[in-house]
Structure 1
């Protein structure tokens, strides 16, 4: 079941967290309750960090089980901290992209990525190389901020309630996942800011209603307090290295 959480006074938790099946980045904070909420559920590294001195670890990064891309504003010290803290098999790269809020313009899982239509060809190549995914330029409900208005794991995708039935069908075929329109945080269409998801756990902003959670849990089907155990983790690593 999805867990409600807030970062200090903000329900926009996706701005401060990047969560994959193999690691989670969270905003550097003295709030031990926020960090421990992830550590208690996830049997993966939970790394506190800043990007360019700010705490929006979700907005400024994008990643999956194979790699992590960080915005060009990431300092050398922050980049080294991430490389030292992440598992060795995670590729970490700093990316030069005019639209540098990567978490707002890219949404991905371990197989596919949607990106803002205006990203450069160099960025598309970098995403393909580092994250090991097929990349599709797409405007979701006529909005290029696909990372803001959608969230996905390897089986499903929640998109803005403004997404048309035609787009839902198209995305499902394109990405080979279940796609459902919905909201978070009591009617917000900014899905990526109000929800963080991997294949085993889901966290939502504290204003998310019970009705919204029913939709989210029914879509993603994450088990209550799901944990990626050592055997499962080794299986994921072996699969990624094939």
Structure 2
């Protein structure tokens, strides 16, 4: 299942949303159109919020089924709202990190996480503890902003087109998923800026072409031949039970 939308006129949907298999964060918008769309199409907890008073929550958060890390700039009120809106088993923590745009410097699924090479050692330990997965320092080709230049679920990874074959092979072996290079939003290399994805849904920016969406559905195994509803129900039931 895949969709193309914009967020208050922007196709950089990854900057304003953060997806996991059991919840979704979305930035607060005056129009409310994105939230309405999510409520109609996403059958899991949806948290409309700000982080540090702004709507670009996707750039400041990263999570999986086990946990959610937030920028240290997250206010106490925002933290309380987010924590109380998520499933009880999801650990939520503010991370005090110099590279505070966590959505840009961290990329994860339910099994593994990669981070910017310059992230602090204490931050690396906190990320591993909150997300409950091994953490590796790894570039996407020559790009250290792993969350900006790639997107990842438990089946596949989409990376920017400048990623070498050697780097794609290395990422595939490390993360144990299929890795394909592509673009989003009609040629943008900032994959994470224009796409959010979990194991049963992808939401791309409105500018994304049909060919780009075909690649997205292929690498993340979201095509019509996949029983998406059964996959979604299995994921949700596993976490709830």
TM superposition score normalised by structure 2: 0.95
Give every structure 1 segment of 4 or more consecutive aligned residues whose post-TM-superposition deviation is greater than 6 Å: none
Which residue in the other structure is 1:117 paired with?
117
For residues 218 and 230 of structure 1, what CA distance do their matches in structure 2 show?
21
For residues 77 and 7 of structure 1, what CA distance do their matches in structure 2 show?
24
Which residue in the other structure is 2:76 paired with?
76
For residues 191 and 38 of structure 2, what CA distance do their matches in structure 1 show?
19
For residues 233 and 97 of structure 1, what CA distance do their matches in structure 2 show?
31
- Go from structure 1 to structure 2 and tell me whether the alpha carbon gap of 1:232 and 1:119 turns closer, same or farther (over 3 Å shift): closer
Alpha carbons 2:154, 2:199 under 8 Å: kept: yes
Alpha carbons 1:41, 1:226 under 8 Å: kept: no
The alpha carbon displacement at 1:229 in A equals 5.7
The alpha carbon displacement at 1:119 in A equals 0.2
Query: Residue deviations 1:175-200, cap 9 Å, x none?
Result: 00010000000100000001000001
- Go from structure 1 to structure 2 and tell me whether the alpha carbon gap of 1:231 and 1:139 turns closer, same or farther (over 3 Å shift): closer
The alpha carbon displacement at 1:128 in A equals 0.6
For residues 199 and 45 of structure 2, what CA distance do their matches in structure 1 show?
15
The alpha carbon displacement at 1:214 in A equals 1.1
- Go from structure 1 to structure 2 and tell me whether the alpha carbon gap of 1:156 and 1:231 turns closer, same or farther (over 3 Å shift): closer
Does 1:14 pair with 2:14? yes
For residues 60 and 185 of structure 1, what CA distance do their matches in structure 2 show?
21
Q: Structure 2: which 5+ residue stretches go unaligned? A: none
For residues 231 and 124 of structure 1, what CA distance do their matches in structure 2 show?
30
Alpha carbons 1:157, 1:179 under 8 Å: kept: yes
Alpha carbons 1:200, 1:223 under 8 Å: kept: no
Determine helix, strand or coil for the equivalent of 1:151.
strand
The alpha carbon displacement at 1:232 in A equals 4.5
CA RMSD of aligned residues (A): 1.5
For residues 4 and 128 of structure 1, what CA distance do their matches in structure 2 show?
32
Determine helix, strand or coil for the equivalent of 1:196.
strand
Q: Structure 1: which 5+ residue stretches go unaligned? A: none
Determine helix, strand or coil for the equivalent of 2:162.
coil
Does 1:236 pair with 2:239? yes
Query: What pairs up with 1:14-163 in 2 under 5 angstroms?
Result: 14-163=14-163
- Go from structure 1 to structure 2 and tell me whether the alpha carbon gap of 1:30 and 1:180 turns closer, same or farther (over 3 Å shift): same
Determine helix, strand or coil for the equivalent of 1:40.
helix
For residues 230 and 8 of structure 1, what CA distance do their matches in structure 2 show?
30
- Go from structure 1 to structure 2 and tell me whether the alpha carbon gap of 1:150 and 1:231 turns closer, same or farther (over 3 Å shift): closer
